[in-house]
Amino acid sequence: MRLWFYALSPFMKRFRISRARKIKRIFPDIDDRSIVDIGGSLHYWRHVKQEIEPKQVTIYNIALDNQFDAANAGGAPENIQASVYDGKHIPASDKQIDVLICNSVIEHVPPGERVGLAREIMRAARNYVIQTPAKVFPLEPHFVMPFLHWLPRRIGRTVVKFSPFGLVHRDPSLTQTFFDEVNILSANEFRTLFPEGEFVVERFLFIPKSYLIIHKA
C-alpha cells in the first residue's frame, strides 16, 4: 500500500505546499516553534521543507512503517522524531503542545472514536490545524475513483475493486479492508467535532476539495 501513496505523492505535493503556506501565514514564526503531527509522515515534511521547517516536529502514529527507518531514504531529519502511541491518548499534558497538525487522519478514525480524538486534540494543544477531504468533492482521494464515497457503503464496498487502487493492488481483501477504514466526513460532521476552530474550505476548480479547522490561541 505504501507504493500507492508514493505514486500519488507528486499530485499531493502541490496541495501540501499550498497548505504549508497557509500555515506560515497563520503562524509567521512557525520555524521557531515546535509541532506535534498526529498521524503524520516524513513525506509531508519533505514536501513542505521549503515553506516551513519547525525547530522540532514530533510525529505520533499508531504504527511506524519503513519510511522512518534510518536506512531508508536517508531516514528522518534531525528536527523530526517519530513515536508510536495508542491512537486515543495524546502523550501530553493539558495545553502542553504549542502547535498540532493533523492531515487526512480523522476520516480513518472509526466514527465512534472521532469525538474522543477531537477532544484529545483540543485538550492537549494550544493551537491546531486539522484537515480532512471534502465529501462534496467528486473524486474519492484514497482510491482515486469518482463518486465512490457518495455511494451507499454496501455498493461502494463492491465496486471499490474496480478503482485504480483496487486494480493496482489486485488484492480484494486489502482493498475492502482499506475501504472499510475510510469514511469521509461531511462539512457539518467535521465542524461539529471542533466547535472552537475556524472552518476553512480549500478548493480545486472552485469545488471544495478539503476542509480545515484552524484554532489559534
Average confidence (pLDDT) per 10 residues, the chain, 217 residues: 55 79 92 94 84 92 72 64 92 96 95 96 97 96 95 96 91 93 97 95 93 95
Whose grid coordinates read 490545524? 129
108 and 83, same domain (yes or no) = yes
170 and 197, same domain (yes or no) = no
Whose grid coordinates read 480545515? 212
96 and 156, same domain (yes or no) = no
Query: Which of 120, 127, 141, 117 has the alpha carbon at shortest distance from 7?
Result: 141
pTM: 0.88
3-state class (DSSP) for residue 184: coil
Sequence-separated (6 or more) residues with CB below 8 Å from residue 158? none
Tell me which residue range forms the domain holding 20: 2-135+183-215
40 and 53, same domain (yes or no) = yes
75 and 33, same domain (yes or no) = yes
157 and 60, same domain (yes or no) = no
54 and 148, same domain (yes or no) = no
The answer to whether 202 and 210 are in contact (CB under 8 A) is yes
Sequence-separated (6 or more) residues with CB below 8 Å from residue 185? 106, 107, 114, 132, 135, 193, 211
The answer to whether 76 and 68 are in contact (CB under 8 A) is yes
55 and 104, same domain (yes or no) = yes
User: For residue 71, what pLDDT is reported?
Assistant: 41
Number of structural domains the chain divides into: 2
Terminal CA-CA length for the chain: 38
